[in-house]
Amino acid sequence: MERFMLIGLSKEHNEVILLNKEKNIFIITGPCGVGKSTISHNLAQTLDKSSHINADLIYEMVVGGYVFPWQDDGNLTELLWSNVSALAFNYIGNNFDVVIDYIVFPEQLKYLEKLRCEYNIVLKYVVLMANEDTIRIRDGKRAPEEIMGDRAIEVLNEFKDKEIDSKYILDTSDKSIEDIVLEIKRAKRFIVE
């Protein structure tokens, strides 16, 4: 069975773009202000059948007993990943590609490992990064109730401290949304083996 199909030529890059025929799960992560939601939404729009799972919205479904994710003892995180995995499973089962955006560290990929193995999906892990100045500028442009302030830089430093394999990192500081989406779609380096 042929694994890839031609989906078009990129005018900007003048090269062939290949998309895997198997279903894909794209995990778009990184600190606040790197463009996770924007890139995830735009990526999902370029796929024929896709779902954009904004895991922040799922986490925030908890009302009574809510704590910030960074203050969680692990129970809400487990619940979040159970719900995200169930949604991803349902979409994959209905022939959708899935784009998940959330702060995801490498050790949390285990929550999607079962789907990757059992359903022959391609799992791409993309850690969007930007420099501190860019993050502060982007954070300052958010609605007042969404501004993270110093917490955005704390998360940036958490990602740096994890020493994530550089093949998964994509700096968004000086790239257009379109260029970022194209790189995510075509680069094999983001595939989790």
- List pLDDT tens digits, range 105-126: 998 998 888 778 777 889 999 9
What is the total count of domains within the chain?
Answer: 1
What is the bridge-based pairing of β-strands 24-29 and 4-10? unpaired
Task: Give the rounded percent of residues in the chain with a pLDDT score beyond 70.
Answer: 89
What 3-state DSSP class applies to 169? strand
User: Mean pLDDT score of the chain, rounded to an integer?
Assistant: 87
185: tokens are 């779609």
Mean pLDDT confidence for 63-88: 93
Residue 112's domain comprises: 4-190
What's the pLDDT at 119?
77
Model-level pTM greater than 0.75?
Answer: yes
What's the pLDDT at 1?
31
Mean pLDDT confidence for 67-80: 92
State the CATH number of the domain containing residue 156.
Answer: 3.40.50.300
What's the pLDDT at 96?
95
Confidence of residue 5 (pLDDT cuts 50, 70, 90): very low
Cα separations in angstroms, 17 against 21, 51, 114, 174: 13, 21, 28, 22
Res. 13: pLDDT tops 60: no
Of 144, 92, 145, 131, give the one whose Cα is nearest residue 114. Answer: 92
Mean pLDDT confidence for 80-91: 93
C-beta of residue 122 within 8 angstroms of C-beta of residue 22: yes
What's the pLDDT at 21?
58
What 3-state DSSP class applies to 126? strand
Q: What is the pLDDT of residues 142-187, one digit of tens each?
A: 899 888 889 899 999 999 999 899 999 999 988 999 999 999 999 9
User: Phi then psi for 30, rounded to 5 degrees?
Assistant: 140, 175
Q: What is the pLDDT of residues 34-51, one digit of tens each?
A: 999 999 999 999 999 999
